[in-house]
Chain A
Amino acid sequence: MDATVTPLRIALVGVPNCGKTALFNRLTGSRQKVANYPGVTVERREGERATPDGRGMRVLDLPGTYSLNPTTLDEAITRDVLLGRLADTPAPELVVCVVDAVHLPIGLRLALEVKRLGLPMVLALNRMDVARRRSVHIDAAKLSAELGVPVVATIAVKRGGADALVEVIEAGTWIAPRAFAPALREHGAEDAEQMQRDMRALLAAAGYSPPRENPWSGRIDALLLHPVAGLAVLLTVLFVMFQAVFSWAEAPMDGIERAMNSLGGFTAAHMPAGPLASLLVNGVIGGAGSVLVFLPQIVILFFFILALEDSGYLPRAAYLLDRLMGSVGLSGRAFIPLLSSHACAIPGIMATRTIPNWRDRLTTIMIAPLMTCSARLPVYGLLIAALIPARSVGPFNLQGLVLFTLYAAGIVSALLVAFVMKQFARERQYSPLMLELPDFQWPNASNLVLGLWERVKIFMSRVGGIILALMIVLWFLSSYPEPPPGATGPAIQYSLAGRIGALLEYVFAPIGFNWQIAIALVPGLAAREVAVAALGTVYAMSAAGDDLSAALEPVISSTWSLATGVSLLAWYVFAPQCLSTLAVVKRETNSWRYPLIMAGYLFALAYLASFITFRVVRAWA
């Protein structure tokens, strides 16, 4: 390849749900890079594809938008990239406007708007297979002649479905004779109506006939959007999903733990004992393992979320819950980020970018950490097993009921916090729902796999990186300074972490925490699940991972009071013990103010909840 020739810069533009991302996957396969646009946290998805002439193409998947008059951060990015306003992202050399052939009018309107920018453009009529099945008629040649740009049919979900598009791009017939800098015309009412007239003229010229209504989708919607039956279906879906997250993940989680333990054991056996071995085994392998173990749960949760998203169900859930969430000052759109937060608050907080209103988005970000993320499970699991008897209460298991209560406590307190935030808001800016409920479709397997793979990569690199670094720092803090010769207590008591823990005991005594918990909470501040490993260290255990929590159980059940254990559970519902979440909030809100407020209010709530729980349970028991 000629080093001086850069790959052709192509941008994919289209309305949401037009199959743009599927087409992007078809064009670039797995050669994708997901990053952020500089300065903002809108996901920037770029992929490469080789071409016969050796130049190659670099395809940018722009966020879906109905119009170049943006209402969300994502939509503003699309406009700015097309106008070449973004640093580091030059305007594309070719725009591929992706239009859902089944819903031609709405896509064509956007295409007209994009075309007016003056960039070379190709129109991709996507989902042509579905369109034909629903007897949509479009004369592509006439449409192309009228519109003045090449028009090709694509079927993004089919192998080879983008071949025609690739051919046109490679042939270069799209090169615009007149090349000028893109400019945006603000469109007023007359302008918008002119565009609608142009669009209808185009539709007429192309002999467009609208799709036959699918009788099934009407019937399915009558059920799914029904005020009572629809909510019942939603609850069932959520129940099955959470059930799956816990039951399906068990085996792979055990596998990962065993693998990490034997890796640790192997390392320890083949290295001379000393600080380096301890750092590798406890810090690096133990630290990475404690995070890695949540991968199966996150994969399963995202499998459900991506499948529900791909099928078109999630916006319907947002529709069902809009009124309910509106009563506490949230938008129905907040449902999707809050659902993701049950896996991990980080992707949840990142998903708030689709909420157009800043106030709504901020409220959603602030309550996302109250959703029970998977990092709380090891702590809940340990304490429930140690302190709550496994007897049945009616048809339910008491331990299961306690776990359910903890989940419910998170959701209910999130709604209360949102309600309080609503009272504090100075001006209420109205934020529209205006959500498209797309056609139902079967989730596409390869898109699902690619989507999951992307999540896995993000989880491993971003979150794993931060937590691993912290674990190494905390290992140093809890190992040094070393105990003086002749010391009798556990080594950790003499370390920096130990000293901090001893100081913290004064703070934590009123809520029933002993010095062991206080010390464990120090490393546990970085990531919740670390507290389990830290408690193990404090109780002078040498094992790691699952073995350790199994061994911890009898110690806890014999030495802790019920009040202490329940108080710690209450603490974990609220305490913002996750530096990665706070870091993401800082990045998403672009200010230190909100992560600080978040940490402050969550610690205050945690202390209050634990204080009350401790007193009440002690008085009772």
Chain B
Amino acid sequence: MKSDASRPVDGDRRQIALAQLRRGQVATVSGLVESAAIDSGRDASQSLVTRLRDLGFVPGARCEVVARMWLGGDPIAVRIGGSTFALRRAEAAAVRVELALGQARDVVAHAGSSAVTA
């Protein structure tokens, strides 16, 4: 299990975890990894990744953290594809994102109109 930690499933290099986004920051999903934070075996983290993908966390989708609980930010509320999901840090750790700052379409488009953009 240990060796599988943070093994990229899809997506690529230079990214941060979704859980690291500040409130209000818009980012683009770059890939999903089997989260190291979930230490209950391959199956559980794989099914987590599958479910996240089914919910719309796919490369290219744009997302925004709309709320964070307490100081550590657990759980967080993420807006993606026009829907909002509550995710724990451990779950959000499976989603790698690239900050969308500086990209022109950010300014124009509304956060959440994501699924079709990529």
Residue B50, interface by CB 8 Å: yes
Which one of B12-20, B66-74, B98-106 is at the A interface? B66-74
Give every chain A residue within 8 A of B74 (Cβ-Cβ): 322-323
Give every chain B residue within 8 A of A66 (Cβ-Cβ): 51, 54-55
Nearest residue, chain B, Cβ from A437: B84
Shortest Cβ gap from A396 to chain B (Å): 30
Nearest residue, chain B, Cβ from A429: B40
How far is B74's CA from A322's CA once the two chains are assembled, in angstroms? 8
Shortest Cβ gap from A430 to chain B (Å): 4
- A196 and B58 contacting across the interface, CB-CB below 8 Å: yes
Q: Mark B32-53, 1 if CB is under 8 A from A, else 0.
A: 0000001110001101111111
Shortest Cβ gap from A303 to chain B (Å): 25
Nearest residue, chain B, Cβ from A321: B69
- B84 and A105 contacting across the interface, CB-CB below 8 Å: no
- A432 and B40 contacting across the interface, CB-CB below 8 Å: no
- B44 and A322 contacting across the interface, CB-CB below 8 Å: no
- B54 and A67 contacting across the interface, CB-CB below 8 Å: yes
Q: Which of A212, A315, A332, A430 has the most CB of B within 10 A?
A: A430
- A210 and B47 contacting across the interface, CB-CB below 8 Å: no
- B50 and A192 contacting across the interface, CB-CB below 8 Å: yes
How far is B10's CA from A212's CA once the two chains are assembled, in angstroms? 30
How far is B117's CA from A142's CA once the two chains are assembled, in angstroms? 20
Give every chain B residue within 8 A of A437 (Cβ-Cβ): 77, 84-86
Give every chain B residue within 8 A of A428 (Cβ-Cβ): 40
- A200 and B115 contacting across the interface, CB-CB below 8 Å: yes
Shortest Cβ gap from B68 to chain A (Å): 8
Could you say which interface size class chain B belongs to?
A: 35 or more
How far is B38's CA from A326's CA once the two chains are assembled, in angstroms? 15
Residue A189, interface by CB 8 Å: yes
- B81 and A225 contacting across the interface, CB-CB below 8 Å: no
Residue A204, interface by CB 8 Å: yes
How far is B48's CA from A189's CA once the two chains are assembled, in angstroms? 12
Given the contacts A434-B52, A434-B91, A323 and B84 also touching, CB distance less than 8 Å: no
Nearest residue, chain A, Cβ from B78: A437
Give every chain B residue within 8 A of A204 (Cβ-Cβ): 116
How far is B44's CA from A429's CA once the two chains are assembled, in angstroms? 8
Residue B22, interface by CB 8 Å: no
Shortest Cβ gap from A333 to chain B (Å): 10
Partner among A189, A203, A432 whose Cβ is within 8 Å of the Cβ of B10: A189
Given the contacts A69-B50, A430-B39, A103 and B85 also touching, CB distance less than 8 Å: no
- A103 and B83 contacting across the interface, CB-CB below 8 Å: yes
- A323 and B51 contacting across the interface, CB-CB below 8 Å: no
Residue A222, interface by CB 8 Å: yes
- A433 and B91 contacting across the interface, CB-CB below 8 Å: yes
How far is B61's CA from A203's CA once the two chains are assembled, in angstroms? 14
Within 8 A of B (CB), among A424-458: 427-430, 432-438
How far is B59's CA from A192's CA once the two chains are assembled, in angstroms? 12
Residue A371, interface by CB 8 Å: no
Could you say which interface size class chain A belongs to?
A: 35 or more
Q: Mark A203-216, 1 if CB is under 8 A from B, else 0.
A: 11000101111000
How far is B67's CA from A106's CA once the two chains are assembled, in angstroms? 22
Give every chain B residue within 8 A of A323 (Cβ-Cβ): 69-70, 74-75
Give every chain B residue within 8 A of A222 (Cβ-Cβ): 66-67
Shortest Cβ gap from B20 to chain A (Å): 18
Within 8 A of B (CB), among A203-240: 203-204, 208, 210-213, 218, 221-222, 225-227
Residue A109, interface by CB 8 Å: yes
Given the contacts A105-B81, A437-B86, A319 and B116 also touching, CB distance less than 8 Å: no
Give every chain B residue within 8 A of A67 (Cβ-Cβ): 50-51, 54
Nearest residue, chain A, Cβ from B52: A434
Q: Mark A296-318, 1 if CB is under 8 A from B, else 0.
A: 00000000000000000001001
Give every chain A residue within 8 A of B82 (Cβ-Cβ): 102-103, 105, 210-211
How far is B27's CA from A341's CA once the two chains are assembled, in angstroms? 41
How far is B81's CA from A106's CA once the two chains are assembled, in angstroms? 8
- A71 and B47 contacting across the interface, CB-CB below 8 Å: yes
Shortest Cβ gap from B91 to chain A (Å): 5
How far is B68's CA from A242's CA once the two chains are assembled, in angstroms? 28
Residue A320, interface by CB 8 Å: yes
Give every chain A residue within 8 A of B85 (Cβ-Cβ): 434-437
Jot down 30 A-B pairs with beta carbons below 8 A, ordered by A.
A69-B47, A69-B54, A103-B81, A105-B81, A105-B82, A106-B56, A109-B54, A187-B50, A189-B49, A199-B115, A210-B114, A213-B110, A213-B112, A221-B67, A225-B77, A227-B70, A319-B67, A322-B74, A332-B86, A428-B40, A429-B40, A430-B44, A432-B88, A433-B91, A434-B48, A434-B86, A436-B84, A436-B86, A438-B83, A438-B84
Q: Which 8 A-B pairs have the closest CB atoms?
A: A225-B67, A210-B113, A105-B115, A67-B54, A319-B86, A437-B84, A430-B40, A435-B86
Given contacts A218-B66, A434-B51, A434-B87, 10 further A-B contacts (CB under 8 A): A103-B81, A106-B81, A109-B54, A109-B56, A193-B10, A203-B116, A211-B82, A430-B90, A433-B88, A434-B55
